[in-house]
Amino acid sequence: MKKVPYRNQFSKILGLTLIAFLFYTVPATAQDDASGEVAAADAGDAKKGKALFNQNCAACHALNRKMTGPALANVEARLSEEEGLDKEWLYSWIKNSPGMIKSGDPYANKVYAEYNQAAMTAFPTLTNEDIDNILAYTAAPPPAAPAAAAGASDGASGTAAQAGGVSNEIILGALVLVFGLLVVMLLLVNKTLQRIAQANGVIVEKEKAEKGLPLWKAFAKNQFLVLVTAILLLLGSAYFAYGWMMQVGVDQGYAPIQPIHYSHKIHAGDNKIECKYCHSSARVSKHSGIPSLNVCMNCHKSIYEYTGNPEGPSQEDLENGYTNEFYTGEIKKLYKAVGWDETNQKYTGESQPVEWVRIHNLPDFAYFNHSQHVSVAGVECQTCHGPVEEMEIMYQYSSLTMGWCIDCHRETNVKVEGNEYYEKIHAELSKKYGVDNLTAAQLGGLECGKCHY
């Protein structure tokens, strides 16, 4: 009875969403077309300009924000209005800014002085047309159509998701209800039948029960059965107790909350940054190393905000509150820690080291060397650390127990190709064992002293 109105509501929501989607997206694309036309009229293609801008300028410039260089929104108009400089000036500046500074151009030198005397890279390869395109983009950036659409669909899919969530619960609830009803009905039927039987004076079942011993008594009398059961029970509980105890101190899946919400998914997954770019010491040291904050700032000097996944944020991100604003806030935490003054684009010198919570804790008596595995053996980081590129929150993927190490050492062949160190020992040992490829274990990788000293 309850289901009916909900079903209606559900279809209604679906319908509404569809309408809303259409309503928002159609005008948006129309606008896009219109702006394209405007840009064409201004002898510059904003679309092409955007691509060029991202490729050449975005490392140091933003549209509405000072970075290493000045903000570039409407730069052409601004220059002609404020400084009386025409497009030709811009052409020559972009193509050869150091030359302009040398030649003593007043505005060129002013800008140069204003931005910490960091000379702008010269772009002699850009044609005037390219520059026009870029300027067109800076003058009227094509509105982020997909973003608007995504925004609209955000709302829609959000509600849809909500609806989906509700419906799942309802279905489950209904099932429970049905089962409950069935149980009640069975009980009722049973009761009724019994009553009928009583009324008829039939007492069939009880007779049967009185004939034999109760099952548990019969069981208790059979000592052998009791013994076997007891043994089985003990073995079973021992098995589970052992399993439980073996996981004591094993922190597989440990995913502590970190002082800065650092998403490996965004960095290693979406942006495909190589692991060893940040964890550079893994190549040469026993530690993989948590990157120092200056490594973060290599990119985050220019990436000051999170503008979202190009494919749009996923549902669970938003559910967890991982909005663009949230991520941008985390970047601000980084700035605070490293002492970066965003407005002046300067380090203040007041830094506060980040106290990360260590996830992978090997005991002190176990020696592990990253470079042995990463550089020498060429093991992928993911082999031990799991699909880090999918981890929004980093967690301990492997158990890091000794058995886990040993298993791998037994199965993994040593990478000997091209390594002169292994030449002799591999030739001799593989002959001795009669194998083509030696495992780490065969090379002594199971000896206690290799990891415990």
Interface stretch with other proteins, choices 33-41, 50-58, 385-393, 442-450 (CB under 8 A):
442-450
* Dihedral of the alpha carbons of 373, 376, 382, 386, in degrees to the nearest 10: -10
Residue 285 contacts other proteins per CB under 8 A? yes
The CB-of-23 to other proteins minimum distance in angstroms stands at: 50
Stretch that binds other proteins, among 16-24, 96-104, 198-206, 359-367 (CB under 8 A): 359-367
Does residue number 338 form part of the binding site for other proteins (CB under 8 A)?
A: yes
**55, 194, 361, 383: residue in contact with other proteins (rule CB under 8 A):** 361
Q: By CB under 8 A, is residue 229 in contact with other proteins? A: no
Candidate residues 243, 363, 378, 434; the one interacting with other proteins per rule CB under 8 A: 363
Backbone angles phi, psi at 259, to 5 degrees: -60, -30
User: How many residues belong to the site for other proteins (CB under 8 A)?
Assistant: 57
Distance CA 374, CA 282 (A): 7
Instruction: Say which residues have a Cβ less than 8 Å from residue 217's Cβ, sequence separation at least 6.
Output: none
Q: How far apart are CA 390 and CA 399, in angstroms?
A: 19
CB atoms within 10 A of CB 327: 19
Q: Which of 286, 383, 387, 407 binds other proteins (CB under 8 A)?
A: 286
Does residue 311 interact with other proteins by CB under 8 A? no
Q: How far is the CB of 424 from other proteins (least distance, A)?
A: 8
237 binds other proteins (CB under 8 A): no
**Minimum distance from residue 351 beta carbon to other proteins (Å):** 4
CB of 280 to other proteins, least distance (A): 8
Contact 83/110 with Cβ under 8 angstroms? no
- Stretch 384-423 residues interacting with other proteins (CB under 8 A): 418-423
What backbone phi and psi angles, to 5 degrees, belong to 141? -60, 135
Amino acid in the structure at residue 273: I
Q: Tokens 């799991």: give the residue.
A: 386
Position 342, amino acid: E
Q: According to CB under 8 A, which one of 248, 272, 321, 434 is a site residue for other proteins?
A: 248
- Minimum distance from CB of 45 to other proteins (Å)? 42
Binding mask 199-218 for other proteins (x = CB under 8 A): --------------------
Q: Give, in order, the Cα–Cα distances in Å from 98 to each of 93, 102, 108, 231, 335.
A: 8, 6, 9, 87, 31
- Pick the stretch among 223-231, 289-297, 314-322, 378-386 that binds other proteins (CB under 8 A): 289-297
Task: 222-231: list long-range contacts, CB under 8 Å, 24+ apart.
Answer: none
Nearer to other proteins (CB atom), residue 28 or residue 282:
282
* Neighbour count for residue 52 (Cβ, 10 Å): 19
- Interface residue with other proteins, options 68, 157, 375, 401 (CB under 8 A): 375
Query: What is the phi-psi region of residue 159: left when phi exceeds 0, alpha when psi lies from -120 to 50, beta otherwise?
Result: alpha
Q: For other proteins, which residue of 354, 384, 394, 405 counts as binding (CB under 8 A)?
A: 354
Name the burial class of residue 291, with classes exposed (0-12), middle (13-18) and buried (19+) by CB atoms within 10 angstroms of its CB: middle
Shortest separation between residue 117's beta carbon and other proteins, angstroms: 22
Q: Is 26 in the site for other proteins (CB under 8 A)?
A: no
In one-letter notation, the amino acid at residue 311 is E
Q: Which of 186, 410, 432, 435 binds other proteins (CB under 8 A)?
A: 432
Tokens of 430: 């593989």
- Please say whether the beta carbons of 283 and 371 come within 8 A: yes
Asked if 358 touches other proteins (CB under 8 A), the answer is: yes
At 148, which amino acid appears?
A
Give, in degrees to the nearest 5, the angle at Cα 269 between 265 and 274.
Answer: 115
Instruction: Using CB under 8 A, pick the residue from 7, 12, 221, 452 that binds other proteins.
Output: 452
369 binds other proteins (CB under 8 A): yes
Contact between 261 and 326 under an 8 Å Cβ cutoff? The reply is yes
Residues in the site for other proteins, rule: CB under 8 A? 248-249, 251, 256, 281, 284-287, 289-295, 337-339, 351-358, 361, 363-367, 369, 371-372, 375-376, 418-425, 428-429, 432, 443-444, 447-450, 452-453
